[in-house]
Amino acid sequence: MNRRSLIKNLTLGAAATAALPAWAKNWSPIDLPAGQVLTSADEALLVDIIDTLIPKTDTPGAKELGVTKYVKAMIATMHSKEAQGTFYEGLPLMDAFAKRKYDSAFSDLNTNSKVECLGMIEVNEEERISTFFKTLKNYTVRGYTGSEWYMTEKAGYEYAPGYGYGCVDA
């Protein structure tokens, strides 16, 4: 490796680190910037989809950890205005898809039907709804695995790893 290549790679790495928001790792809902304000129906649908992706079991689900706020913050800070609009246009498409397949709104379906519906949406040929769902799923998983609860309880993250034990026999 030559010196120019090394300097270029170090500069790009530093720029990428600076570009990633500080709250993107080990976040808590209080730290997040506010996302786009949605109608109460769209907000409820978004929460319901996220809760279906990672439901509460013996561990907290995505809804309990505030992943919805994380998803909205990521969309607001990492996407252009028109990409944000395209993303939020996917919510009514999800509901329309559920109404076509099940003759019922997504929120009115039982848990098994919701999971089945999301599986069909994931492999759907319609690009707008498929792109919406893939983006939502990606941010949901990243939000859940980057949450403070997951990092401290499941991943074994320690704020200050390693301990200094003084006065040890040599």
Q: How many domains are contained in the chain?
A: 1
Does residue 162 fall inside a structural domain?
no
Does residue 170 fall inside a structural domain?
no
Does residue 112 fall inside a structural domain?
yes
Question: What pLDDT shows up at residue 98?
Answer: 92
**Hey, what are 31's tokens?**
């730290």
Integer Cα distance of 56 and 62 in angstroms: 7
**Hey, what are 38's tokens?**
């949605």
Does residue 21 fall inside a structural domain?
no
Length of the chain: 170
Does residue 28 fall inside a structural domain?
no
Does residue 2 fall inside a structural domain?
no
Type of residue numbered 77: T
Print pLDDT tens along the chain (170 aa).
577 777 777 776 666 565 555 545 555 555 555 556 678 888 899 999 999 999 999 999 999 999 998 999 899 888 899 998 889 999 999 999 999 999 999 999 999 999 999 999 888 878 889 889 999 999 999 999 998 889 888 887 777 766 666 776 76
Question: Which residues make beta-bridge pairs with 155?
Answer: none
Residue linked to tokens 């695995």: 145
Question: What pLDDT shows up at residue 53?
Answer: 95
Q: Vertex 144, ends 32 and 25: CA angle to 5°?
A: 50
Measured between alpha carbons, how far is residue 167 from residues 104, 161, 164, 170 in Å? 69, 19, 10, 9
Question: What pLDDT shows up at residue 31?
Answer: 59
Does residue 45 fall inside a structural domain?
yes
Question: What pLDDT shows up at residue 23?
Answer: 47
Does residue 22 fall inside a structural domain?
no
* Structural domain that includes position 53: 35-154
- The DSSP H or E segment spanning 150 is none
Q: b/e map of 81-108 (b: 16 or more CB within 10 Å)?
A: eeebeebbebbebbbebbeeebeeebee
Question: What pLDDT shows up at residue 123?
Answer: 87
Sign of the CA dihedral running 122, 60, 142, 107: positive
